[in-house]
Amino acid sequence: MKQINQLAPQDEFIGFFLLRELTVKQTNGNPPKDYFDIVLCDSTGQLSAKYWDVSPSDKETFFPMGLVKVQGMAHLYREKLQIKITKMRLAADSDGVSLTDFIRSAPIRPVDLVFAIKQAMNAIQDGEIRKVVAYCVQKVEEKLMHYPAAKTHHHAYFAGLAYHMTRMLEIGDFLCKQRPFLNPDLIRAGIILHDIAKPEEMTAELGIVSDYSLKGKLLGHIAMAANWITEAAIMENIDLDSPKIIALQHLVLSHHNLGEWGSPVQPQTAEAVALHQIDTLDAKLQMVEDALDTTPESEEWTPFIRGLENKPIYRMKLEP
Amino acid sequence: MKQINQLAPQDEFIGFFLLRELTVKQTNGNPPKDYFDIVLCDSTGQLSAKYWDVSPSDKETFFPMGLVKVQGMAHLYREKLQIKITKMRLAADSDGVSLTDFIRSAPIRPVDLVFAIKQAMNAIQDGEIRKVVAYCVQKVEEKLMHYPAAKTHHHAYFAGLAYHMTRMLEIGDFLCKQRPFLNPDLIRAGIILHDIAKPEEMTAELGIVSDYSLKGKLLGHIAMAANWITEAAIMENIDLDSPKIIALQHLVLSHHNLGEWGSPVQPQTAEAVALHQIDTLDAKLQMVEDALDTTPESEEWTPFIRGLENKPIYRMKLEP
Amino acid sequence: MKQINQLAPQDEFIGFFLLRELTVKQTNGNPPKDYFDIVLCDSTGQLSAKYWDVSPSDKETFFPMGLVKVQGMAHLYREKLQIKITKMRLAADSDGVSLTDFIRSAPIRPVDLVFAIKQAMNAIQDGEIRKVVAYCVQKVEEKLMHYPAAKTHHHAYFAGLAYHMTRMLEIGDFLCKQRPFLNPDLIRAGIILHDIAKPEEMTAELGIVSDYSLKGKLLGHIAMAANWITEAAIMENIDLDSPKIIALQHLVLSHHNLGEWGSPVQPQTAEAVALHQIDTLDAKLQMVEDALDTTPESEEWTPFIRGLENKPIYRMKLEP
Amino acid sequence: MKQINQLAPQDEFIGFFLLRELTVKQTNGNPPKDYFDIVLCDSTGQLSAKYWDVSPSDKETFFPMGLVKVQGMAHLYREKLQIKITKMRLAADSDGVSLTDFIRSAPIRPVDLVFAIKQAMNAIQDGEIRKVVAYCVQKVEEKLMHYPAAKTHHHAYFAGLAYHMTRMLEIGDFLCKQRPFLNPDLIRAGIILHDIAKPEEMTAELGIVSDYSLKGKLLGHIAMAANWITEAAIMENIDLDSPKIIALQHLVLSHHNLGEWGSPVQPQTAEAVALHQIDTLDAKLQMVEDALDTTPESEEWTPFIRGLENKPIYRMKLEP
Amino acid sequence: MKQINQLAPQDEFIGFFLLRELTVKQTNGNPPKDYFDIVLCDSTGQLSAKYWDVSPSDKETFFPMGLVKVQGMAHLYREKLQIKITKMRLAADSDGVSLTDFIRSAPIRPVDLVFAIKQAMNAIQDGEIRKVVAYCVQKVEEKLMHYPAAKTHHHAYFAGLAYHMTRMLEIGDFLCKQRPFLNPDLIRAGIILHDIAKPEEMTAELGIVSDYSLKGKLLGHIAMAANWITEAAIMENIDLDSPKIIALQHLVLSHHNLGEWGSPVQPQTAEAVALHQIDTLDAKLQMVEDALDTTPESEEWTPFIRGLENKPIYRMKLEP
Amino acid sequence: MKQINQLAPQDEFIGFFLLRELTVKQTNGNPPKDYFDIVLCDSTGQLSAKYWDVSPSDKETFFPMGLVKVQGMAHLYREKLQIKITKMRLAADSDGVSLTDFIRSAPIRPVDLVFAIKQAMNAIQDGEIRKVVAYCVQKVEEKLMHYPAAKTHHHAYFAGLAYHMTRMLEIGDFLCKQRPFLNPDLIRAGIILHDIAKPEEMTAELGIVSDYSLKGKLLGHIAMAANWITEAAIMENIDLDSPKIIALQHLVLSHHNLGEWGSPVQPQTAEAVALHQIDTLDAKLQMVEDALDTTPESEEWTPFIRGLENKPIYRMKLEP
C-alpha cells in the first residue's frame, strides 16, 4: 500500500487515509451538482482530491477528521499531483487501522516526551519552584501527550508542544553547563512553563488546531500561564511576593521578548534572556527541519516560511 | 508671601518651600567648594535654586523632600528665572506649615475622589464583579488617597490616580447613557481596575514617583492587576473560567490597546474598546490642561509634551 | 414578508430587495452560459444570490442599485446562507416600495440630524466663526441629508456623516462642561468642519460610496476643507491671518493626528487634541456597535474589523 | 586679515566678525563672574569664543547678530580650535563693513536668482497657471531675495531658498527635454510653488532662521501654499474646480511624498512624482556639497548629516 | 491586422501573437473537459484569452513563449476585454514573423543602447576604473542586449536594463556639469556597475524574467557585483585596498540606500549619494511613463503602482 | 594593592593603572587652569578621576593608553565613586608591570582560543571549504590573538572575537549532534568566517576599538568577508560558481538576518538560519554575563543594555 509521498501520476491505488478537510462544492452546470473537495493525508504528507457525483447519503456519511478507505487515481492538475477518488467508504473497526497512524507526529513517542519533561521537572532543586511547575503541568498533563505547539507556526503536529519542550530542555542543560552563571532551576522551570497554557489557549485534535478558546483569544497563553502561577502559589502556600514567584512570572511574561510579539514586559533577568533565545533557536530550526521534511525530495526549495522572514529554504547539497 | 508663579526678577523674598531635589555639586575652583543645586517647589510650580558656601553641617541637615524656610532673591539666568538662596533653615513644627500645602495636587480632595470611586463601585449591579473590584480596591485603598497616575506621563501629582479614575467614571457614565449597548458594570469595573496595580508598581511620596518596584519592573501593572483578579476570584469563590472573570481580565490586559504599548492582547469586547478610548481621552486632555496650568500665563507655548506626539500646545486666545 | 436577517435554510419566499451588486458571470460549460452573481440587501442586512439562465433581455433590464421583486429559496452553501432566485422582476411604481426602505441608515432621521447640526452651529457665540461654519455647511447641505462618513471604515450608511457629527457634538458638549478650559465655539466648529468636505471627496448614492472624486484623490478631504475655510474667509471678509481662521484651519488639518493618517500637522491647541479624541472615540465605538448589529445574534464573534487593530469583537453576555 | 577657515592655533589676530550667538554665563567661583560664551562667524565658517571679565556695560552693548571688531588669539581646546577674545568693540559705520559680508550665502547673487525664477515663471505657457504662480511669488518676492530654504536641513543660508528653486528649475528643464511626456508648465509651476510659503512659515534674518511663525507651526508651509493657490484663483477669477488648480494644489500637497514627511496626499500625477524626485535630488546633493565646503580641507570626513541617513560623507580623492 | 490595443468588443480578427502564458484548466462539468487559459501579447499590450475544446495533441503543441496564429473574437467579460479563440496554430517559418516583434521593448535599439554604454565607459579617464568597468561589462555583454532591469518593478522589458543605464548616464552627465564637485569617472562607473550583475541574478527571455538564479537568491545582485569588482581587480592587477576599488565597491554596495532595501552600507561619498538619487529618479519616472503608456488612452487612471507608494497615476490633461 | 572594584569611599591608595582616557579641561576661574579628566582602569573595572594643577610638562607626559603609578583618594561624587589623584608618574620598565594586566580580557588565554578555532577549522571534512576558511583565517591570524568582537556591543575586550568564535563553535557542535540535518562543515565554516573581517573593519589596541577603518565604514565587515571568499576561491582555484562557494558567501552575507541589521540577503539555508541563531544566542548571553560581571556586586541592576531591548538586567538571587 503506497504512502502519499510515494504516489506518482497515473498511479491507481487503494488505501486508507485521514479525511483532513472536506468541503461540499457545486459544479457550475445547470442544475449544479454537488462534489467533494477533499484533503487526504497520512503521516507522510497530504494531497488534494476530488470526489464527483456525491449522493445525499454521502453528505451524511463523510466529515472532516474521519478515517476512510479510498480507491482512486493520481494525476497532474496544474503541475501538482491530485487524486480523483472513484470509490470511498468509512473505515470500520475490522479494518484494524488507527487515526494516529495517519497524522504527522513528533519523532519521539509522547510518553517518552512527557517522561523527559517530568524528569526535568523533578530535577529542579528548589522545592517551591518545583511545586509551582508541577501544579501547572498537572493542569494539562493529558493534553501534553498530543497537543501541537501552534496552529501552523512551528511544531504544528501531534505532541509537538512536548517535543518543543524536550528539545529546549536539552539546549537549556547544555547552556547551563557552558555558562554557570545561569540558574538551572529557573531555566528548567521557564522552559516547562513558558507555553504551558497553550493547550487551554487552543482547541486541537490529533495535533491539528481547529480554533482558539475564548480565554485564548481574550487573555492569551502568556497571561493565562501567569495567572496559573498565581493560582499555584496560593494553592501551595507560597508567598506571592517572593522573588521565586516574581522570577517565574517574569520568565513567562517576557518570553516573547517584545511587546509587539505579545510580551507585556521585556526580559530583565539572565534566565529570561536565555529562555527567549532558546525558544527562538528551537522554533526556527524546527521550522527549517519540518519544511525540508515535508517538501518532496525532488524539490530544491521549500515553500515560503512566515517565521523565517517569509523566505523559502534551499536544500543545499554539497558534493564530497 | 509670594508664591513661585508670582516671583519676578530682582524680587527679594522670604518663604516656605518644599526642597524637591537637592544635589551636592562642586565648583571648578581649586580646591573645589561644595554648593547645593536645588529645586524648590510650592503648589504653583517649581524653580531652580543655588545655595553657595555649603557647610559640612548643611550636608547633614538638608535632604530632598524636606520643608525649608528660605531667604533669597530671584534673578534671570540664561533667560530663565532662578533663585539665589542667601539663608535657609528647616521648617519647624512651630512654623505651622504642612508638606501637603507645597505640592501639586488634584483639584478635588482625595477623600472626595475615593468616595466617588467607591460610590461607582457600589453602583455595580453584578455581585461577583463588585466583589472582585472591592477586593482589588481594598489592596491599595490607602495609597489611592495620594498616589499619582504616573511618574511624568499624565496626572503626575498628589491623588492623580484617583482623579484620573473619577473623571473617567464621569465619561463612562455619559457614554453608557449615549450608547446603551455598553454594559455599565463592565465599564465601571474596567475603569476602576485598569490602573489599580499602579500603586504597587511605583514608589511614590507626596504624589512624586521616585522609582518602580521590582514587581513593577519585572511584571508591570497590567499583569499584576490580572493576577489580582485571579487572586480575588479564588478568595471570593468565583469560577476562574466564568465569563465575568474573563471579561474583567480582558479589560485590564487590553487597555493599552497595542502590544508595543504593553497590552498582550488587543480589545475584543465593546467595553474593552470603550475603556481604552476613555483612558486615552482623559489622559490626553489632562496632559493639555496640566501643561497649560503649569506654564506661566505670559508664555504662549507650553513645553513639548511627549504624550502628545511630542508637540507643545499653543494657548489659543480668541478675541470676542 | 420576511426580512433578510430572518431567512433560514430551505425558506421559500417572495419579497422586494435592493440589487446592491450584480455581476454577469459564465458557467464553465461549453458553450458557457451567462448567470448573475448578485448581492441582495434590505435594511437588515445582505445576502449573496444566484440567478441562473439569464436571458439577453435580463442583461438589459437589471442593474446595480435597482429595486426588484424576487421569488427564491434560501439554502446553505459552504456553510453560509445563499439565495437561489427563481423569478425576478423590476419593482414598479405601483408596488409602492421605496429605495430608502431597503438600505442601512442612521437610527435617527436625516432631517433631525441636520437640524441638530444647525442648532449647534447657531450656538456658536463668535460671529465670524459661525459665518465660516455656515459657509461650509451650505456647500454640502443637501448631501448632509444622506452621505455616509466613509466607504467602509465607519458610519458607512445613509446619513452616516450627519449621524457621526451629531454624536460627536453630544460628546463635545459633555466635555466642555466637564473641562471648562475648552472653548465650546472651537469644539463645535471643529466637529462640524472636520469632515465637511467628505461629500465632495466621495461619490455616494443611498449611503453607499461608489468612488472618490478627482479632488478627493488628488487633494483629500482635509486639504479641501482647509481651502474652503480660506474661501469662506475671503467671501465673508474675515482676515486670513486672524487667530480665528488659523485656529479653524488647524482643527481641520490636524484632526487625523498623525502624518501617516493624513494630517500634515499635529494637534497643538487644546481643542485640536480634543477634536481628534472625540472623533476617534465616536468612530471606534460606532464600529463596534455596527459590527454587533450586523452580525447575526446567533454568532458570538463579529468579522475582523480593520479599524479595531483588525480584531473581531466578542459579544460578551454576562448572566445576572 | 585672516578668515576663520585660515586660523591656526596660537595665531593672534584682529578682525571683523558677526556675533552669531552670545550667551552670558557665570564662572563657578564664589562669587561667580559673568563671561560671554560666543559664536563668531564670517562667510567661511564659524568658531566658538570666550570673552572673560565682562563688564556691566558690555552686557548692554553686545547682542547676537551684531557686527564686532575683535582682537584675540586662537588656541586648541579639547582638540578643537577656539578663540580667546582680548578686546572687542562694536563695528562703526566708519569701519566700512557690512553684515552681508559675514554670512554664508548662496554662490549666486540673489538678484540673479530671483531673475532666473521670474524668467522661468514667464516661460509658463498657460496664462492661468502663470497668474497663480505670479500671485504667490509676489506675496514673498522681497523675502525671496534673502530667505534660506530651511533652518538647518538644507540650503540653510542667505538666499538659499531662491538658490534651491533655481537649481531645481535647471534640473526640471533637463528632464522635460529628456522625457517629453512631462508638462513643462506644471514642472516649472510646481518647482516655484512647492516651498513658496516657507518665508511665511519661518522668521529669518540674514539667512538664519530664528523661529517658526504661528501659521508655520499650526498650518505648515504645505497647507499655507495650498491656501494661497485657492486665494490666487479667487482673486484671478479662475475656476476653483478646474483641472489646473487641482493639478497645482496636488503638486504642492504631495511634494513631501509621504504622510510622515508632511504630505497629506501622495504624488499621483507624472509631474508630482517628478517634482518630489527633483526636490530630493537637489536637496541631498546640496547637503553633500555644503557639508564638504564647510568641513576644513584637512578633514576627511564631514560631520554626521541627518538628511543623509545620519551618515557623514567621506572626501574621496582618487589619484590620477 | 489589428494590434491588441486597437481591438474592440465584437471584433473578429485573424493575427499573430505571442503566447505569453498558457495554463491547462478543466471545466467543472462531469466529466470535466480541458481548456486553455491563455495570455496573448504583442508589442502594444496583452489580453486574456480562452481556447475551449482542447485536444490531446493541442496539449503537445502549444507552450508558453511560442508564436501562434489565432482566429478569434473579442468580447467583454466582467467589464474587461477578452478573446475567444476559435482557431489556433503555431507560426511557421514561412509566416515571416519574429518573436521580437511581439514583445514590449525599450524605445531605442539595443545595439544603440550598448554602444552608448560603451561610449560612456570609454569616456572614463582613469585607466584602472575603466578596466574594472570593462571587465564586468564583458561578463554580461551579450545579455545587456536584451535583459530587463527587473521582473516587474521597473524597465521590465526587452533591453530595459541597458535603457535604464543609458538614461541614467544622460542624467549623470547633466549633474556633473551642474555640480563640478562630482567626479564624472565615478558617476559613470557607478551607473554602469550598479545593476551589472542583474543578468546573472535573474533568468530572462525576450525581456521577461521567469525566475531568479541560485546566486541571485542566495547572494543578490549587489553582493555579486561587489565580488566581480574584487575579481576584476585581481585579474587586472589592481590593489584591492586602493581608494579606487573601495570607491567602486562602495557605489555598488550602497546604491539601494537603506538596509531594508538591500544595501549593507549607506552612501557616504558624494558620488554614492548622487548614484542613489539618479537611480531612483530614473526608475520612478520610468514607472510613471510605462504605466501611462500601457494603460489604454481611454482610461484616466493607471493601475496601482507598487514602487510609487502603491498609488495609481492620473493622466492629467490641461486644456490650452 | 587594591583593585578598582574593591575601592571604597575615603580609601587612600597607591597603585598602577591604565590611563584609558585623558582629556585636558579648564576650570572656569579667571584665568582658567588646566586639569585632567581621566578614566583609570584595571582588569576589574574602571573609574573617573581628576588630576588638578596640571603642569605644562604633564601635558607632554601623559597620554591615553599609558600605564601610570597613581597616589590618590577615592570619594563619592554625585553618588558615584571617583578618584582624586594627588601624585602620578609614568610606569617604568623597572616597575615590572605589563599593559595586558590592566585590561579586561576573555576568560581563556588567546593562544588557547586560537588553537580551538584552528582545531575546528581542521575538523572541516571538505577540503575546499577548509582551504577557503584557512585562507581567510591566515589574513587576520595575528589580530585574532587580541581583537575584540565589537566596539561596545558585545565581547568588547581583549581577544573577545576569538572567544565569541570559540563559544559559538561549542554551541554549533552541540546543535549538529542534536539535529543531524545540519551540515557540520558549513556550521563550522560559517562560525569562523562570519566575523572574520572585523579585525580589518576596526582599529583596536588592547581590546579597545578606537575607530573604524575606511573599508570598514564604506564596505562593512560583511561585504569584506564575502570579497575575501571570492579572493580565496580564485587563489585556491575553486570554481566561483560552485555550491560550496555560494553556500559560504550566503552564510556570511545573511548572518545579520535582516536588511536593517546589515545583511543584504536573508538566511535561506538550514545552516544560515542556524548561524544567525547561534550568533545571537552567544552575543546576548555574553552581554548579560559581562554586564553582571562589571556591575558591582552590591548593585541589583546593571546599566541599560542597548542590545537587550535597552533594558537593564536584574541580579536575581533566590534563597535556597
Percentage of residues in chain E with pLDDT exceeding 70?
Answer: 97
pLDDT in tens, E167-192: 999 999 999 999 999 999 999 999 99
Residue F135 has pLDDT above 70, yes or no: yes
Residues F143, F261 share a domain? yes
Residue B219 has pLDDT above 90, yes or no: yes
Query: Cα F62 to the chain's mean position, in Å?
Result: 25
Q: What is the b/e burial string over F47-74, where b = at least 16 CB atoms within 10 angstroms of the residue's CB?
A: bebbbbebeeeeeeebeeeebbbbebeb
- Give the count of beta carbons closer than 10 Å to the beta carbon of residue F260: 11
Q: What pLDDT, on a 0 to 100 scale, did the predictor assign at position A83?
A: 92
d(CA E139, CA F287): 46
d(CA B117, CA B114): 5
Residues E148, E35 share a domain? no
CA E203-E207-E212 angle, to 5 degrees, is 20
Q: What pLDDT, on a 0 to 100 scale, did the predictor assign at position D145?
A: 93
**D30 at B interface, C-beta within 8 A:** yes
Residues D170, D263 share a domain? yes
- What the block records as the C-alpha cell of F316 is 536575581
Would you say residue A157 lies in a domain? yes
Residues D281, D228 share a domain? yes
Residues B130, B69 share a domain? no
d(CA C39, CA C18): 8
Residues A242, A128 share a domain? yes
Closest CB from A179, A289, A309 relative to F266: A309
d(CA C86, CA C84): 6
Cβ within 8 Å of residue D65, ≥6 positions away: D18, D19, D20, D205, D206, D208
Range among C105-109, C151-155, D96-100, F101-105 with highest mean pLDDT value: C105-109
Please answer whether residues C307 and C284 qualify as being in contact, where contact means their C-beta atoms are separated by less than 8 angstroms.
Answer: yes
d(CA A217, CA E251): 50
Chains touching C, CB cut-off 8 Å, 3+ pairs: A, B, D, E
Would you say residue F189 lies in a domain? yes
pLDDT band at B30 (very low <50, low <70, confident <90, very high): low
D chain contacts of residue F26, beta-carbon cutoff 8 Å: 77
- What the block records as the C-alpha cell of E129 is 576604473
Q: What pLDDT, on a 0 to 100 scale, did the predictor assign at position A296?
A: 76
Residues C166, C84 share a domain? no
Would you say residue A127 lies in a domain? yes
CA D233-D234-D238 angle, to 5 degrees, is 50
Instruction: Write the Ramachandran bin of A237: left for phi over 0, alpha for psi from -120 to 50, otherwise beta.
Output: left
Chain C residue with Cα closest to A218:
C314
Cross-chain Cβ contact A227/B226 below 8 Å: yes
Residue E296 has pLDDT above 80, yes or no: no
Please answer whether residues A143 and A209 qualify as being in contact, where contact means their C-beta atoms are separated by less than 8 angstroms.
Answer: no
Which of these three, F65, F80, F102, is where a domain ends? F102
C chain contacts of residue A214, beta-carbon cutoff 8 Å: 314
- What the block records as the C-alpha cell of B139 is 489592596
CA–CA distance from A8 to each of A4, A293, E17 (Å)? 9, 18, 35
Q: Residue D216 — φ and ψ, nearest 5°?
A: -60, -40
pLDDT in tens, chain A (320 residues): 678 878 888 889 999 999 988 988 777 555 667 889 999 988 887 889 999 888 888 988 998 888 999 999 988 876 678 899 999 999 998 998 988 888 889 999 999 999 999 999 999 999 999 999 999 999 999 999 999 999 888 898 899 999 999 999 999 999 999 999 999 999 999 999 999 999 999 988 888 888 899 999 999 999 999 999 999 999 999 999 999 999 999 999 999 999 999 999 999 999 999 999 999 999 999 999 999 988 877 789 998 999 999 999 999 988 77
pLDDT band at C272 (very low <50, low <70, confident <90, very high): very high
**E237 at A interface, C-beta within 8 A:** no
Strands (E), chain F: 12-26, 34-42, 45-51, 66-77, 80-90, 202-205, 208-212
| Mean pLDDT, range E71-95, rounded to an integer | 88
**B273 at A interface, C-beta within 8 A:** no
Residues C139, C281 share a domain? yes
Would you say residue E218 lies in a domain? yes
Touching, A vs C (3+ Cβ pairs under 8 A): yes
Percentage of residues in chain E with pLDDT exceeding 90?
Answer: 69
Q: Does residue D85 or residue B210 have the better pLDDT?
A: D85
Residue D1 has pLDDT above 70, yes or no: no
- Give the count of beta carbons closer than 10 Å to the beta carbon of residue B21: 17
**Secondary structure (H, E, C), chain D:** CCCHHHCCCCCEEEEEEEEEEEEEEECCCCCCCEEEEEEEEECCEEEEEEECCCCHHHHHHCCCCEEEEEEEEEEEECCEEEEEEEEEEECCHHHCCCHHHHCCECCCCHHHHHHHHHHHHHCCCCHHHHHHHHHHHHHHHHHHCCCCCCCCCCCCCECHHHHHHHHHHHHHHHHHHHCCCCCHHHHHHHHHHHCCCHHHHEEEECCEEEEECHHHHHCHHHHHHHHHHHHHHHHCCCCCCCHHHHHHHHHHHHCCCCHHHCCCCCCCEHHHHHHHHHHHHHHHHHHHHHHHHHCCCCCCECCCEHHHCCECCECCCCCC
- Give the count of beta carbons closer than 10 Å to the beta carbon of residue D303: 11
Distance from CA of B314 to the nearest CA of D (A): 9
Cβ within 8 Å of residue F264, ≥6 positions away: E220, E222, E223, E253, E262, E263, E264, F222, F223, F253
Look at the alpha carbons of E256, E261, E263, E269 in this order and tell me if their dihedral is positive or negative: positive
Q: Residue A118 — φ and ψ, nearest 5°?
A: -70, -35
Cross-chain Cβ contact F264/E230 below 8 Å: no
E chain contacts of residue F254, beta-carbon cutoff 8 Å: 218
Q: Could you give the count of Cα atoms lying within 13 Å of E174 in the half-sphere of its Cβ?
A: 20
| Mean pLDDT, range D311-318, rounded to an integer | 94
Would you say residue E213 lies in a domain? yes
* DSSP letter for each residue of E158-213: BTHHHHHHHHHHHHHHHHHHH-TTS-HHHHHHHHHHHTTTHHHHEEEETTEEEEE-
Q: Could you give the count of Cα atoms lying within 13 Å of B23 in the half-sphere of its Cβ?
A: 11
Cross-chain Cβ contact D23/B52 below 8 Å: no
- What the block records as the C-alpha cell of A306 is 512566515
**F239 at E interface, C-beta within 8 A:** no
Please answer whether residues C305 and C312 qualify as being in contact, where contact means their C-beta atoms are separated by less than 8 angstroms.
Answer: yes
CATH assignment at residue A68 = 2.40.50.140
Chains touching B, CB cut-off 8 Å, 3+ pairs: A, C, D, F
Query: Cα A313 to the chain's mean position, in Å?
Result: 20
Q: What pLDDT, on a 0 to 100 scale, did the predictor assign at position C141?
A: 93
Q: Residue E270 — φ and ψ, nearest 5°?
A: -55, -45
d(CA B229, CA B136): 7
**ipTM exceeding cut-off 0.95 for this assembly:** no
* DSSP letter for each residue of C220-259: HHHHHHHHHHHHHHHHTT--TTSHHHHHHHHHHHHTT-SG
E chain contacts of residue C23, beta-carbon cutoff 8 Å: 78
- DSSP-derived letter for residue B265 is S
Residues B280, B144 share a domain? yes
Most distant CA pair in chain E, distance: 74
Touching, F vs C (3+ Cβ pairs under 8 A): no
**C217 at E interface, C-beta within 8 A:** yes
**D189 at E interface, C-beta within 8 A:** no
pLDDT band at C173 (very low <50, low <70, confident <90, very high): very high
**D60 at F interface, C-beta within 8 A:** no
**B26 at F interface, C-beta within 8 A:** yes
Would you say residue A201 lies in a domain? yes
Q: What is the mean pLDDT of chain E?
A: 92
Residue F266 has pLDDT above 90, yes or no: yes
Closest CB from F247, F285, F314 relative to A269: F314
| Mean pLDDT, range D231-236, rounded to an integer | 98
Strands B66-77 and B80-90: antiparallel
Residues C85, C117 share a domain? no
**Secondary structure (H, E, C), F159-228:** CHHHHHHHHHHHHHHHHHHHCCCCCHHHHHHHHHHHCCCHHHHEEEECCEEEEECHHHHHCHHHHHHHHH
Residues E121, E82 share a domain? no
- What the block records as the C-alpha cell of C61 is 433590464
Test mutation, A182, A265, A315, A316, chain F, max F CBs within 10 A: A316
- What the block records as the C-alpha cell of A254 is 517576557
E195: domain range? Answer: 110-289
Would you say residue B183 lies in a domain? yes
d(CA D180, CA E107): 13
Q: Tally the domains of chain E.
A: 2
Cross-chain Cβ contact C178/B171 below 8 Å: yes
What type of residue is F93? Answer: D
Q: What pLDDT, on a 0 to 100 scale, did the predictor assign at position E214?
A: 96
Residue C315 has pLDDT above 70, yes or no: yes
Q: Which residues share a beta bridge with B41?
A: B18, B46
- What the block records as the C-alpha cell of F9 is 569611599
**E94 at A interface, C-beta within 8 A:** no
Query: Looking up cell 466578542, which residue turns up?
Result: C314
Residues F54, F142 share a domain? no
Would you say residue A284 lies in a domain? yes
Query: Looking up cell 446553505, which residue turns up?
Result: C76
This prediction's pTM = 0.92
Cross-chain Cβ contact E284/D273 below 8 Å: yes
Please answer whether residues C72 and C84 qualify as being in contact, where contact means their C-beta atoms are separated by less than 8 angstroms.
Answer: yes
Percentage of residues in chain A with pLDDT exceeding 70?
Answer: 97
Q: Residue F83 — φ and ψ, nearest 5°?
A: -115, 135
Among C184, C222, C193, CA closest to C132: C193
Q: What pLDDT, on a 0 to 100 scale, did the predictor assign at position A76?
A: 80
D chain contacts of residue C260, beta-carbon cutoff 8 Å: 258-260
Q: Residue A160 — φ and ψ, nearest 5°?
A: -65, -35
Q: Could you give the count of Cα atoms lying within 13 Å of F8 in the half-sphere of its Cβ?
A: 1
